[in-house]
Chain A
Amino acid sequence: MTRALQRLSIALALLFIAVGLTFGYWSLIRRSWLVGRDDNPRLVLAEQRIQRGTIFDRNGGILAESTRDPGSGLYTRQFPHPEVASVVGYYSLRYGVGGIEAAFDDLLRGNYQVTVGERLARVFLHKTQVGGDIRLTLDLSAQQTAMALLDGYAGAVIVLSVPEGDVLALVSSPSFDPAALDANWEDLAGDPTAPLLNRSTQGLYQPGTILQSVLLAAGLNSACLSLEDSISPVLTSQVNGLLLPCAASSDGVETLAAAYTAACPAPFVEAVQAIGELQLLAALRDFGLLAPPEFILPSESSGQVTSVPDLALGQSDLMVTPLQMALVAAAFADHGQIPPLRLVSATRQAGGSWETHRPSGFPRGAVSRAAADAVAGLMAQAVNNGSARQAAIPGYAVAGHSGIAITGQDGTYNGWFIGFLRVSEDRSIAVAVLVENTIQTGLAASIGGQVLQAAAAVYP
């Protein structure tokens, strides 16, 4: 019996050791694999324990913040202004992050370099991980005005301050409510109007006659064109059997300058031939239309252009985003200089002080000052009595140009407007407006003018 007891003891001891080793196997060796599993409910819980940072607009208005439930101690994300969704984006435990919430996720979560003491306190004392805050260049009231003006339309509006390049408003419509994202995700993702797409930065559109400013500036810059060039009497064009009309009355249009202010397409076909391919492509590159701009939010570009002659009507393989066109508008506002973009004006780590962010990149010369100013002068005329007269604001010096583009095969039209408003001698506000599926040439210009007026009120 003693021998059996001894053997039994050894067997039990081995089994207990096996159990101890298996505990070690799961809790040490397989730990990271298990803890990182998608179905680990602790991941969501750990995320909800983070006091995520606040996103402010340029005046300190709260655009997104995390509030603590006193009972559970967990944080939930609040989005008091759904109008800023195109910029702020979303934060969802199920669908991840988008917009600024994604671009600055590490800062907002507090994932930056912390002291050893802080890290130990987080791991061993479950100290709440507090994230950093972000101040945007966005102006909430300008954003809300732009959003309200686009209500009912699909389109985009971007407002930039010149020469700083601060994004005052960036709107994509239709949009979504980030606070109700989890509940509506299926509908949003399946919606044919694509509310989750940021049309401002990622929507690629045919420029149509809005490209005329770039073409004209390129021609003036290289002295291949002159404003007094006379033109042939045919003013409108046909694209795939669809009419591409002038944006304003074509009465008395006899020079290239007049064709530009009325945004008539046909005269530019001849003009582009005069400029020449290489200079045209160089101009497109200099205006930043061949590459996505340096920007915090994901941005698109159609890339290289192969069918240069078709550029005259803006109906080629060159596609542009509203953001790119806003930079074109800014170039004319700033005498040929494209400002670098800035969306985040400052950030601060938890408990730290605000650190100002510089714009991404440097001002770039797009075109000579003389050529830019000449086109800008015509833009002022276009607002006075040309293609963009709906953008006029009493008491303000608004310049602009509106155009029309035919989209794809289905024969619908998009309306464009680019323009700027001089706030003072050396400061302006630039805007680009795109409205999908409209033949009304004045709609985009009208929205652009009202947005400029709203922005001028907050950006004196």
Chain B
Amino acid sequence: MLIDTYINLSYLVGAVAFVWGLRLLSSPDTARKGNILAGIGMGIAIVATLVAPLTGADNNYLWIFGGFVIGGFAGWIAAKKIQMTAMPQMVSVFNGLGGACATVLAMAELIKYYDGMMQMSLGQLSIVLVTLLIGAVSFTGSMLAFGKLDGFIKDKHVILPGHTIVNLVLLIAVLVLAVILIVQGQTAGIVMAVIFLVLALIYGFSFVAPIGGADMPVVISLLNSFTGLSAAAAGLIYGNQIMLVGGILVGAAGTILTVLMCEAMNRSLMNVIIGGFGSAGASSSATDGDQVAKVATITDASIQMFYANSVMFVPGYGLAVAQAQKVLKELDDLLENNGVDVKYAIHPVAGRMPGHMNVLLAEADVPYPKLLDLDDANAALKDTDTVVIVGANDVVNPAALDDPGSPIYGMPVLEVWNAKNVIVLKRSMSPGYAGIQNPLFFHDKNRMLFGDAKDSIQQLVQEVKDM
């Protein structure tokens, strides 16, 4: 009996460590401590679960430790080797595995149930099915998000005609089947449960399929929240408090980020889920066909930066793709040494996950105070001489303010055209990921500097050095 008390006490300590850890994690000075604290909480919870007395259990510790070694090793290697630029992919994969774990647990319960090895009340059965559903959606959704972020799956490969209707039909089918399973109880049989699983997996894939590009930060946050909820639901299956607390906290964190990302784009979650940018009307504002964008040479661009009083870089997903963050910092240092005031404008949805640009620039050692958020950047842009856009597109699109026909109309953007000069580093004139034409490219103040961002910046570094 005493040992039970210790176990429960350990779970309590673990749960408090989760809450406190996440609290510390949301403030810059204490974030690292918070992560470690949450990790300690997890360690305590795992050890407590290992030693908790279970009457009549065979323990099978060998299997568990085998799983620890394999999973721990794989996770550790992946986390150590991954490039910072590939962070969104990594987060998606880890997230998907959490969902998969919950799905596996729910499936194991269902197998026992339909074998007649155990009984469940209607409530318990419902919770198992909810765990399975959310976990499965989170799993396949995250895997597809990973594929899209890594670039080996293109949106056009996975979007069906009338995809919204397909998704709706799938969702209804999943829910109807869930009701049937609950009503029929044990007589439904394992085959029905497997069909439910397969449908849930397909739905997860199909649900993420039409969401792409600039909407990725929203969907990643949302999937993160799903995984948390599936863990919490699994906690209800086992009547385990720390699983419930941990899962709900993750669900809350994911939901908060989802809301923040939606706000940053001034769109509702429904709007993001239903209408991907790409399908919303890519051609509606392609009215700049006859206009010609003016081109800058490396020399022009470097002169504009070197003799400026202030330069503002606007990084976007292209910076991550070109892995240009370190060479950008080099350019920043050179300019600073010549008395140029250098700042960075960070749009909340720049990149493919919440805070993506902050991570990249931190890797390149750019000091935090040089990063301006949307409002500060827009205020500072009026007094900025030269803006250099590195791989960003939709977040600097003036159509968001003045073209009601544009799919991104209403989204707050960085008003870079208020600066004296703009230089856009871009590989070609093709519209961005979202498929929306950007009138900024044809703006009087703008010059295009074509080429791979990393190459271009390297050449700029060389030019500035020679000045």
Q: Do A and B come from one complex?
A: no
* Contact surface of A with B, Cβ cutoff 8 Å: none
* Contact surface of B with A, Cβ cutoff 8 Å: none
